[in-house]
């Protein structure tokens, strides 16, 4: 049975005190209200991560994630953070290939392949993001784009490593825009992604991979999205900055 996961991507938002306050609120609300087995993840900015390390104790239903990592283990890479540094701060998940990193930091599929390798080698669970732009959707090439993103960055992995990934389908046109993919649109792509994995590896592996949806997911639309057969949770931007909204999204699985 694959895991249901809801991960909050805080991006470059919140000062330290506000972050701690929201993190603690999320933690309390999850402990009091979430009664399923779904996993909740918060991905704060790098500089705040170690402030949350102590809050992550066994039994706590919240895990820590990061928004990126460098592909090298260590070295002269000013301003960068390695996967092993994240692990040393209690981080379990790392977002790789978010569309904002692809767009603003020129991250290519070839680079993302190396980042996936680094994350896996250090024991992090990558949340690997794929998704098409509005132009690509309107021109009907979105299946090709998604197939290419997955195969170029991740299909070099042996099945034992691929099985450790979490995937996220994030249509670029839905991120931070208030335009959510309909449950049918999202399911179509999630089913397509699973089929690509089954064709490359096997059906058992494909059935074991959690595929999250991201793009203007909120407490109102989460249940319908998460009830689709191939949608196993969400990668949440804006709504993860409000404890109540984030936990209500997590509760869409209750
Ligand atoms: C994201 O950035 O991963 C995201 C899904 O953002 P939002 O929920 O704000 O659309």
pLDDT over 90 at 14, yes or no: yes
Is residue 171 lining ligand 1, measured as CB closer than 6 Å? no
Question: Residue 13 is part of which domain span?
Answer: 5-253
Contact 126, 167 (CB under 8 A): no
82 pairs with which residues across the strands? Answer: 70
The Cα 129–Cα 140 span in angstroms is 20
pLDDT of residue 70: 98
pLDDT band at 212 (very low <50, low <70, confident <90, very high): very high
Q: Which tens digit of pLDDT belongs to each residue from 227-248?
A: 999 999 999 999 999 999 999 9
What is Dmax (Cα atoms) for the chain? 48
Ligand 1 centroid – CA 103 distance (Å) = 14
Q: Which of 39, 132, 170, 190 is catalytic?
A: 170
Number of domains in the chain: 1
Report the sign of the C-alpha dihedral through residues 95, 175, 206, 106, in that order.
negative
Strands, DSSP E only, in 86-193? 93-96, 125-130, 166-169
Is residue 216 lining ligand 1, measured as CB closer than 6 Å? yes
Which atom of ligand 1 is nearest the CA belonging to 234?
Answer: 5
Report the sign of the C-alpha dihedral through residues 172, 168, 213, 35, in that order.
negative
Q: Residue 137 is encoded by which pair of tokens?
A: 């959707």
Ligand 1 centroid – CA 235 distance (Å) = 7
Q: Which tens digit of pLDDT belongs to each residue from 110-168?
A: 999 999 999 999 999 999 999 999 999 999 999 999 999 999 999 999 999 999 999 99
- Name the strand (E) or helix (H) holding 203: helix 203-208
Is residue 170 lining ligand 1, measured as CB closer than 6 Å? yes
Is residue 123 lining ligand 1, measured as CB closer than 6 Å? no
Contact 168, 211 (CB under 8 A): yes
- Name the strand (E) or helix (H) holding 8: strand 5-9
pLDDT over 80 at 59, yes or no: no
Which CATH number belongs to the domain containing residue 174 in this structure?
A: 3.20.20.70
Q: Which residue's CA is the nearest one to ligand 1's atom 1?
A: 237
Q: Which residue's CA is the nearest one to ligand 1's atom 3?
A: 237
Rounded to two decimals, the pTM is 0.97
- Name the strand (E) or helix (H) holding 25: helix 16-33
Pairing of the two strands 233-236 and 211-214: parallel
Q: Residue 18 is encoded by which pair of tokens?
A: 């506000």
Is residue 67 lining ligand 1, measured as CB closer than 6 Å? no
Q: Could you report how far apart the first and last alpha carbons of the chain are, in Å?
A: 16
Task: Give catalytic status of residue 170 as yes or no.
Answer: yes
- Between 36 and 194, where is the model more confident? 194
Is residue 236 lining ligand 1, measured as CB closer than 6 Å? yes
User: Of 101, 21, 33, nearest to 61 (Cα)?
Assistant: 33
3-state class (DSSP) for residue 166 = strand
Task: Give catalytic status of residue 98 as yes or no.
Answer: yes
pLDDT band at 74 (very low <50, low <70, confident <90, very high): very high
Question: How far is CA 228 from each of CA 7, 148, 191, 237, rounded to the nearest angstrom?
Answer: 18, 24, 10, 20
Mutate to test the pocket of ligand 1, among 168, 238, 240 (most ligand atoms within 8 A of CB): 238
pLDDT over 80 at 60, yes or no: no
């Amino acid at each position: 049975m694959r895991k249901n996961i809801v991960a909050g991507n805080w991006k470059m938002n919140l000062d330290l005190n506000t972050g701690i306050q929201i993190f603690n609120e999320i933690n309390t609300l999850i402990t009091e209200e979430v009664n399923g087995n779904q996993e909740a993840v918060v991905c704060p900015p790098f500089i705040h991560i170690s402030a949350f390390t102590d809050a992550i104790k066994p039994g706590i239903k919240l895990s820590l994630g990061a928004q990126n990592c460098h592909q090298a283990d260590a070295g002269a890479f000013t301003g960068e953070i390695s996967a092993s540094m994240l692990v040393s701060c209690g981080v379990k998940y790392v977002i790789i290939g978010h569309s904002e990193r692809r767009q603003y930091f020129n991250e290519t599929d070839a680079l993302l392949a190396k980042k996936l390798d680094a994350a896996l080698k250090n024991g992090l669970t990558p949340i690997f993001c794929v998704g098409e732009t509005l132009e690509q959707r309107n021109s009907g090439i979105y299946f090709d784009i998604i197939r290419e993103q997955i195969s170029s960055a991740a299909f070099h992995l042996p099945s034992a490593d691929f099985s450790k990934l979490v995937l996220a389908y994030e249509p670029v046109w839905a991120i931070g825009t208030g335009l959510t993919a309909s449950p049918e649109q999202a399911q179509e792509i999630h089913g397509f992604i699973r089929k690509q994995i089954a064709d490359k590896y096997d059906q058992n592996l494909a059935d074991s991979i959690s595929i999250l949806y991201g793009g203007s997911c909120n407490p109102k639309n989460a249940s319908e999205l998460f009830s689709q057969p191939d949608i196993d949770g969400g990668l949440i931007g804006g709504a993860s900055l409000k404890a109540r909204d984030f936990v209500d999204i997590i509760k869409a699985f209750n």
